[in-house]
Amino acid sequence: MIIAIDGPSGTGKSTVAKGVAKKLGYTFFDTGAMYRSVAWMIRKEQIDPQDREKIKKQLPLFSYEIKSDAQGMRRYFACGTDVTEAIREPAISALASQIAAYEEVRALLVQIQRNFGTHRNAVFEGRDMGTVVFPKAELKIFLTARAEIRAQRRLNELFLKFPELASSLQFDQILQEITARDHTDSTRSISPLKQASDAVLIDTSDLSIEEVILKILTLANWKKQYPPMKIFYRIVYWITRTFFKLFFRLQIHGLEHFRPGAGIIASNHTSNYDPPVLSISCPEEVHFLAKESLFHVPLLGRLIRRLNSHPVSRSGSDASTFKQVIQLLQEGKKIILFPEGNRSPDGTLQPIERGLAFIAQKAVCPIFPAYIQGSFAAWPRVRRWPRLSGSIQVVFGTPIDSELCMGQSKKEKEEFMTTQTTSALKNLKAWLEEGAHGTPP
């Protein structure tokens, strides 16, 4: 399995990637060190970084090795010289960013990285691991953090590594350098720094390294356990996901709360966009209910059936719907339910129906609370046709387990699960509105 971790500097990428690799017994590969090593060679050879011809001629002479010292620490060797410390100097950081924009440099290093990843369990960290080098990586992570936090982390790191530079290091200057480097890395024409559409975004600003590692390990474990999607479902899943990523800059948070097995995904409901948005935000196949009349529409009927929709008749009793849902849950499936009943007319949260809690405790399965923000603006009830642009975010919260209320009466259990779900949805909404920092509640 390849785990690709990308993101700008100062997000804790290297430490996190190293930690994840150690815990899983995988090989760790810091691709930034390679770009830094090429920059080191160019400086040693006193080549003008603008002189592309000279750089091209020099590249075939580049060699790169990773060895362990007596204490088991990694040492990086470029052209036979130990460059482990030298490549961390600030001057090399700037030069590495500059030469990383050159096609010939990237072509050489990407090839070395791919060769290294063949038939290996490895954690690769860099800027283009998920987008270019390993587009088929089993798990992709994109780390971010606020620029001020990243600058402070970098300052602390430099103080430790180069104490002699302590008096000359200024927070403002580091912040400026980080912002400039972000700009160069994310605006270059080849392989710019950007989140792959199927990468999980983790904001590390308010998280400890251990918390980030744990999130990634949880995701890696889930990845191994989720059953593979059926081919037709997978195709529609990726097309729909790409659509929402492109037109609505879809962001998905809280996937670390997800786990395999039966469960009800209970979400707010304001728009016809909600069922597809929520389905493609989940890392596995999900099931949902749809009006029976839709199944009689020639093509649509077949399509939604193959996408795990199950008909509910308006005239049918609640009992038959409940039975159907409980059956699916007992088969270990995940089902999306909108416990407010209907789409909210004004985008606000409506009271939750008790049927949700009834089903959860009958099937003895967890409720995964989810909140969708932005779909109301994109397609509210009053609009016949949807808008094709905007911004949508989905967040999953801590699962609510029906076992939590063992020993209580049926009525008490229902009361408890309903109140818990209502407050979970409110908390997720508040978490998004406060800027989506850290782990969702």
Q: Does 397 bind ligand DC (CB under 6 A)?
A: no
What's the gap between Cα 399 and its chain centre?
19
Closer by beta carbon to ligand DC, 65 or else 318: 65
Draw the binding track, 26-45, toward ligand DC (x: CB under 6 A; -: no contact).
-----xx--xx---------
Where in 116-135 is the site for ligand DC (CB under 6 A)? 126-128
Six token digits for residue 110: 């990407």
Closer by beta carbon to ligand DC, 127 or else 253: 127
- Name the minimum Å distance from CB 179 to ligand DC: 13
Q: Which residues contact 55 (CB under 8 A, 6 or more apart)?
A: 42, 47, 49, 99, 102, 104, 105
Closer by beta carbon to ligand DC, 156 or else 313: 156
Six token digits for residue 136: 């088929």
Closer by beta carbon to ligand DC, 49 or else 355: 49
Where in 147-186 is the site for ligand DC (CB under 6 A)? 181, 185
On the 0-12 / 13-18 / 19+ scale of CB atoms within 10 A, 244 is buried
Among 4, 17, 100, 200, the residue binding ligand DC under the rule CB under 6 A is: 100
CB 33 within 8 A of CB 89: no
Closer by beta carbon to ligand DC, 139 or else 280: 139
- How many residues contact ligand DC, by CB under 6 A? 13
- Name the minimum Å distance from CB 94 to ligand DC: 8
- Name the minimum Å distance from CB 91 to ligand DC: 12
- Name the minimum Å distance from CB 199 to ligand DC: 14
CB 130 within 8 A of CB 196: yes
Gap between the Cα atoms of 441 and 438, Å rounded: 9
Q: Which residues contact 295 (CB under 8 A, 6 or more apart)?
A: 301, 304, 305, 309, 311
Among 4, 78, 83, 96, the residue binding ligand DC under the rule CB under 6 A is: 96
- Name the minimum Å distance from CB 102 to ligand DC: 10
7 φ/ψ sector (left φ>0, alpha ψ -120 to 50, else beta): left
CB 417 within 8 A of CB 360: yes
Binding site for ligand DC (CB under 6 A): 9, 31-32, 35-36, 96-97, 100, 126-128, 181, 185
